[in-house]
Structure 1
Amino acid sequence: MKKILIAFMLAGTFGLTYAQSDYYNDYRRSITDINWQTVATDLLLSVAQTNQLNALNDRYHDYDSWNRVYVSNPDRWKEDRYSEIEKILGREKYGKFKKKYYKGQNPVAVYNQNKNNYKKYKGQKSKAYKAEKKNNGHHH
């Protein structure tokens, strides 16, 4: 009985939420989806700023190093990362960065959207499956 309960609890946490690795994948995409060399050129960043950005992008070399920091709050990477980018760029250049690379939206909100799209998609999939099962059950 105990084993079933634990399995059920685990399924519950992963079934309904965004898995830890999905947060990490978003984090990785926030680095790989953007050509930081272009950012540096577009925003006329100083060598120091460019180095700080590169250091920030290289901070976590793999899932384990990232997970050690964010294991209890995987959602927090976005606030950490983008407030740090804002500090490096300064408010004005950060505004230009958001306009060009995030259509003017707060990147944190963009990644929250990804998370919700993921949930929506999962929900639709199971609904479609249930509807299909129901319809296939009724043969006239």
Structure 2
Amino acid sequence: MKKLLLTAMIVGTFSLTYAQSDYYNDYRRSISDVNWASVITDLVLSQTQANQIYALNDRYNDYNSWNRVYVSNPDRWRNDRYVELERIMGHDKYLKFKNKYYKGQNPVAVYNRNKNNDKRYKHMDKKVKVYKHKNGNGHR
């Protein structure tokens, strides 16, 4: 019984760490996927605003510093980051940024959508399609 409990704890710890690292990878991509020098130039941001954006991007240089803040709620980074970007840029320039880099979608929703790719319930889509196909009328 002790071995079973210990195994369950170890597996749970590794799966939690894996999930946390996925969130951190999304966080890092939210920084690396954008050419911030171009954003600053295109939006005509001041040097102070540019410095604040660079400081925001450098806030969590490694997983451990990020995890200390977001360990209990890893989803929160998305909202925190984009609220802070809006504060730095101002509402109008933030909307221009969002429209150009996220095609008008809320960046929080973009990363929330990505986090569910290849997760344990993805196989359910196939079952729903098969059920719809067999049923023929499209009702679930």
Is the CA contact 1:16–1:119 (under 8 Å) kept in the aligned structure 2? no
Is the CA contact 1:17–1:119 (under 8 Å) kept in the aligned structure 2? no
Q: C-alpha separation between the residues in 1 aligned to 2:31 and 2:21?
A: 15
Q: Does 1:114 align with 2:114?
A: yes
Corresponding residue number in structure 2 for 1:136: none
When normalised by structure 1's length, the TM-score is: 0.79
Corresponding residue number in structure 2 for 1:42: 42
Corresponding residue number in structure 2 for 1:99: 99
Residue pairs, 1:48-63, within 5 angstroms: 48-63=48-63
> Which range is displaced more, 12-21 or 31-40?
12-21
Deviation, structure 1 residue 8: 2.9
Deviation, structure 1 residue 123: 3.7
Pairwise CA RMSD: 2.4
Corresponding residue number in structure 2 for 1:83: 83
What 5-or-longer segments of structure 2 have no aligned partner?
A: 127-140
Q: How many residue pairs get matched?
A: 124
Superposed CA deviations along residues 22-80 of structure 1, whole A, max 9, x for unmatched, are 00000000000001000001111111111000000000111111111111111110011
Higher helix share: 1
Corresponding residue number in structure 2 for 1:64: 64
